[in-house]
Amino acid sequence: MAGARRAHDTARGGLLAEARFLASLWRAGLQTAMAFRVAFVTQIVGMALNNAMYLAFWVVLFQRFPTIGTWGLRDVMLLFGVVAAAFGIAVVLFGNILVLSDVITGGALDAWLTLPRPVLPSVLASRMTVSGIGDVATGLVCFVLAGQRSPEAALRFVVAVVASATIFLAFMVIVQSLAFWIGSAVLLRQTAFNAVLTFATYPLTLFDGTAKFFLLTIVPAGVMGTVSTDFVRRFTWPGLGQLLVAAVVLCAIAAALFRAGLRRYASGSIVLAAD
Amino acid sequence: MTAATRKYGSIFTAQLANGLTYPLDLLGRALSIVVFLWVFLHLWRSVYATDGSQAIAGLTLADTLWYLMLAETIVLSKPRISADIARSVRDGSVAYQLARPYNFVLYHFSVGLADAIVRAAMTALVGGALVWALVGPPPPASGWPLAAIAVLLGWLLDFSMSALIGLSAFVTEDTSAFDWIYSKAVLVLGGVLLPLDFLPEGLGSVARALPFAYTVWAPARVFVSPDPARFLALAGAQLAWLAVLALLLAAAWRWAIRRVAINGG
Amino acid sequence: MSSNRLADSGARDAIIDVRGLAKTFQVVRKRAGVSGSLRAVLRPERTTVDAVRDLSFAMADGELLGFIGPNGAGKSTTIKMLTGILHPTAGEATVLGLVPWRERRQLAYHIGTVFGQRPQLWFHLPAIDTLRLFGRIYEMDDALVRRRIGLLAEAFEIGHLLETPVSKLSLGQRMRCEIAASLLHAPRLILLDEPSIGLDVVAKQRIRDTIRDMNAREDVAVLLTSHDAGDIEALCKRVIIVNHGRIIYQDRVSALKRTHLTCKVVGVLFAERLAEPFAMPGVDVLKAGRDGYGLKLAFDSRTTPVERVLAQLVAAGTVVDITITDPSLEEVIRAIYEAAEPDGAPGEAAASTGLGALDAGP
């Protein structure tokens, strides 16, 4: 027994261990999802069709009005594709992002606090939202339909999607971490969720001045959507820079806020609901 | 007849009071409409600017925004008729509800109407204030009663279709698929994201031939251009569809009762 | 409380050492609705709750320690502090030499938890998949994980259960797998909460055997919290009872039963009707069968020795059947709760039922 006991004393944290752990979480999530074949397929197809309806709206609109500002159908389609793929990847791999504030106020963090793993990634990755696969599929189809055919464009697409997914996740973590202080944050979460996704799927050029600033900072839908899509269309250093800075800054804020929230959680003074 | 109205009337008013005890829920819907309308304003401002014309299919930018305000209000205030009925069928409580001295379906209609009114009032208030600030005053108040009637007819039409889906729980395990199809049909063919008048000829006539358009597009259109001729045409179509669906619903209900009586719920 | 040090537990080191631990909560009462939420943020109504006050105890390496108390007694708060989930308001504690709330992750590599009401095995997957996931959680390499799984499967006889989806297992089988899973990384301390909840008598017994086995085989210390006094009675040598955030009792289970309720209940069946009704000073006749064949007696074995009662009974007639029952741990604990004063300090009454006798040594 002694051998077993001491064997893992040398292994402590580290990115590789964390990556292997997340991989096994995702494997378990996928296996669980596939245990229900019909539901698995229905959710994916359903979401893809759902997205198709919204694309249909754009198709109809552009039939009647060939351009809106400087944007044509292909531009909007690419935009939609980037946002859909980013959202899809985010909720497939980190599905608990959709209900993080509930996890916090429901005391479900305790189970993760008894394990030797960083809390936030573990909580987020322990659930897989299958319908997100439909969103990723939609994203890929849109990318193809938008006419970007080169391998460089595909690479830029991957970078853009990963950046946008990170921005979305970080934003939602920031909003939902407020639950550590204000208790149930369901309304806040729903509004933030609606806002960031709705705004992201419309071209940033529709907005001006303060609205534009708002969508590039407070609710980073403009970065998640238009800035990201512009990068897919054409590589620019400023474009890449904006994406990376946004992703890194938001992640830093999210991590710091969540950590502060955990400290408050550990002091036991989170808000309880009245009986 | 009056006993019946009194019965459903009291169910209705009870639910009205109930609806007001969930302010956070109402606030959530109101915030959703703010997000949508704000985006729509920017979108349509750009469309009109690019197109260069003051009016498209007879609607100005202001008209379009007020149209979308009412359309979104209707959609965001929808009660869950089909979900409530389906749940009642699935857990068997429908059998108990049959013993009550009122009609099961009409009960859900009364409750649903109360919910819809409370939510619509809040959403329209907030949405309306926003649109007023953005594009100017709403269509003249003289037309509002006509719009209200169209909204009411639209709701009844929506409830009927929703109730039919709910009753399908007697034969299918999961009604959520039908729910989803119905909501997408309303989205695409009901004029939620843009007035049906903007659709190309073919698609437009298809949409106007189906009942979905009369739950959202018809009331919102009347609201924006409340001339009597248009009102009569659209309300007429609403009533026609309502008659058809009422018959279908009545038949479905009779069939459902018989099924409960035979199988015991 | 002379037994709160480990003098009589042998020379084993303390793996849990708690001194003066306390936790006070500032609870903000939030009322429903928007106004309630606003009020909670702007002008919060705070009440102070002393969940744990001045708790001190120690646990030896490899020990099976029971930790019981009614709801709201501060049990789960204490457990949370020992695992580092909560920071205490006062006091110190070390678990396996680490300060839980400062070295939470370090400690986590060496402890395991099983919560009866919050299963860790993924429901729709075979247990073995969760085991492999646990291997990754504790950064064990794959060969080691395979070896451990083999060992545990054999020890707990769950080999044939591992490949079946957990949802298809019975509750008892699931619990055995849960317990095995908690041992994968060979922790030195396991926290077991309500392991036998919802199980039938046979399954309960099996689980208790499993726990006892695990304690012996793996040399792992077990801190057991349970509402089922039977679990404690069957498994633990020592028990700590908390109420109102304080320890109101701390000693070996045997001592607890021996010194606390010394009431014995005796049921007797005679061959023939008794000549005269049975009576004896110091003995209460609870029930006398109308036909004179049966008797149910109660007496305090400290004042009236068992031998004397038996002698009297045998003299009274031909004893065909006899049952002598000890008070259940349930009754003992209830007596202790009642004896303790409302703020948790053991009261005068407790001393008279034998709590004070502890100072004289078991």
B203 to chain A: which residues are within 8 Å by CB? Answer: 60
Which residues in chain C have Cβ-Cβ distances shorter than 8 Å to B21?
Answer: 33
Tokens representing C293 are 């064949």
| Closest Cα in chain A to B30 | A191
Q: How far is B35 from chain C (nearest CA, A)?
A: 20
Q: What is the per-residue pLDDT across C288-336, written as a single tens digit (0 to 9) for each? A: 877 778 888 888 877 888 889 999 999 988 999 999 887 666 667 777 7
Judged by CB atoms closer than 8 Å, whether chains meet at C124 and A35 is answered as: yes
Show the domains of chain C with their CATH numbers.
Answer: 2-257 (3.40.50.300), 262-325 (3.30.70)
Rounded CA separation B230/B218 (Å): 9
Give the type of residue at B151: V
Give the separation between CA A159 and CA A240, rounded to whole angstroms. Answer: 9
As a whole-number percent, the residues of chain A with pLDDT over 90 amount to: 76
Distance from CA of C221 to the nearest CA of A (A): 14
Instruction: Find the residue in B nearest to A199 (Cα).
Output: B39
Nearest to A207 among B35, B42, B49 (CB): B42
Sign of CA dihedral C241, C247, C252, C254: negative
Residue carrying the six token digits 């109205």: B5
Span of A123-132, A229-238, B25-34, C255-264 with lowest mean pLDDT: C255-264
| Nearest CB to B50 within list A63, A65, A202 | A65
Interface contact C137-A273, CB threshold 8 A = no
Instruction: Answer yes or no: do A116 and C86 touch at CB < 8 A.
Output: no
> How close does chain B come to A198, measured CA to CA in Å?
7
Full-model pTM: 0.84
Q: In angstroms, rounded to a whole number, what is the distance separating the alpha carbons of residues C138 and C136?
A: 5
Band of residue B1 on the pLDDT scale cut at 50, 70, 90: low
Q: Which of A11-25, C8-22, C90-104 has the lowest mean pLDDT?
A: C8-22
Asked if C124 contacts C115 with a C-beta cutoff of 8 angstroms, the reply is no
Residue B130, chain A, CB below 8 Å: the answer is: no
The CA distance from C103 to C106, in Å, is 5
Give chains near A: 3+ CB pairs under 8 A: B, C
Question: Quick one: closest CA in C to B26, which residue?
Answer: C34
Per-residue model confidence (pLDDT) at position B41: 93
- Asked if C26's CB is within 8 angstroms of A111's CB, the reply is no
CB contact under 8 A, A56 and B194: no
User: A151-177 vs A131-145: helix axis angle to the nearest 10?
Assistant: 140
Q: What is the pLDDT of residues C11-56, one digit of tens each?
A: 457 899 999 999 988 776 666 655 665 666 667 677 888 889 999 9
Are A195 and B193 a contacting pair at CB < 8 A? Answer: no
**Complex ipTM over 0.90:** no
- Axis crossing angle, helix B176-189 with helix B81-90, rounded to the nearest 10: 170
Reading the block at residue C285, the tokens are 């006749």
What is the per-residue pLDDT across C55-99, written as a single tens digit (0 to 9) for each? Answer: 999 999 999 999 988 777 888 889 999 999 999 999 999 999 999
C87 and A13 within 8 Å at the Cβ level: the answer is no
Chain C's closest residue to B20, CA to CA, is: C33
Cβ <8 Å between A28 and C219: no
Top residue of B33, B47, B56, B212 to mutate, by most chain A CBs within 10 Å, is B47
Q: How many CB atoms lie within 10 A of CB A95?
A: 20
- Residue C263 Rama label (left phi>0; alpha psi -120 to 50; beta): beta
Q: Tell which phi-psi region holds residue C198, choosing left (phi > 0), alpha (psi between -120 and 50) or beta.
A: left
- Spans of all domains in chain B: 2-263
Higher model confidence: residue C341 or residue C139?
C139
